[in-house]
Amino acid sequence: MEYVLKTNSLCKYYKDFKALNGLTMNVPKGAIYGFVGKNGSGKTTLIRLVCGLQFPTSGDFELYGVKNTEKSISKSRRRMGAVIETPAVCLDMTAEDNLKQQYRILGLPCFDGIQEILKLVGLEDTGKKKAGNFSLGMRQRLGIAVALCGNPDFLILDEPINGLDPQGIIEIRELILKLNREHNITFLISSHILDELSRIATHYGFIDKGGIVREISARELEGICRKCIRITVTSTAVLSRLLDDIGLEYTIIDDTHADIYAKPNITQLSLELAKESCEILSVEEHDESLESVYISLMGGVDND
């Protein structure tokens, strides 16, 4: 598998505080990588290191196969764009003028492509309206437009939907999916809004106390989070024998609880179990959410 970003035992210390502590992660090319962790876990620090705004205490990382210690890392960084914390836009300028300014900063020879970028993010009709009069969602889209200047194929977004209203969230979600699917842009998205992240991410990295707790693909996570019927019986030993005969997939939790990954005929199941003196005590739909997986990985909601 080809990776856009790889980190190896990356550490960043501020006196006695370990912002990053041996972080190793891998962002596959073409992925929407959800970078998940509570505030202070090290997400923004990692982003700052990758963008060259700070330097690691130890360890290293590779961007498009180029190590951060090599001179050519600057060329690799030209292939990426970033929106860190808040969009870097001038509020007293129009959307078009913001992009022109970014073109000048990047040293691009002309303004070709600006209208295409504005259309791509849905800001082509803003005319002379100043960015200061934009909604939060429009400013976020303008920030992404600025990050798209120079035609990058890797975008880093730090909490891109923080503070947005429902419509703004939908707009950013659809934009990210469009850029990923139609323009082959790889994303690293730092977010704590897990429900929304679960709608777009193809891969996840869970970070806690400066280190990766687990990396997992959305497909693997779906296997963990899939819906099931949680059934309580007087004997799961009896239940398992019957489910094996029927050919249904299941997981035994303990002596009285099991998850069945199908919707069996409960009446028929109850009759068959009764033949072996086993009763059904309760049946309920159950599924693991991304939030519950996150809490489990972090060791509980109060783990600080």
Q: What are the pLDDT digits (tens) for 266-294?
A: 999 999 999 999 999 999 887 666 777 77
Burial 229-266, CB ≥16 within 10 A → b, else e: bbbbbeebebbeebbeeeeeebeeeeeebbbbeeebee
* Residue-by-residue DSSP string for 139-157: HHHHHHHHHHTT--SEEEE
Burial 29-40, CB ≥16 within 10 A → b, else e: ebbbbbbbbbee
Q: Cβ(38)–Cβ(45) under 8 Å? A: no
Q: What are the pLDDT digits (tens) for 190-207?
A: 987 788 888 999 999 999
Q: What are the pLDDT digits (tens) for 251-266?
A: 888 999 998 888 888 9
What's the whole-model pTM score? Answer: 0.79
Residue 137 has pLDDT above 80, yes or no: yes
- Residue 288 backbone phi and psi in degrees, to 5: -80, 135
Distance CA 177, CA 5 (A): 20
- How far CA 129 is from CA of 94, 100, 139, in Å, comes to 6, 15, 12
Distance CA 232, CA 80 (A): 52
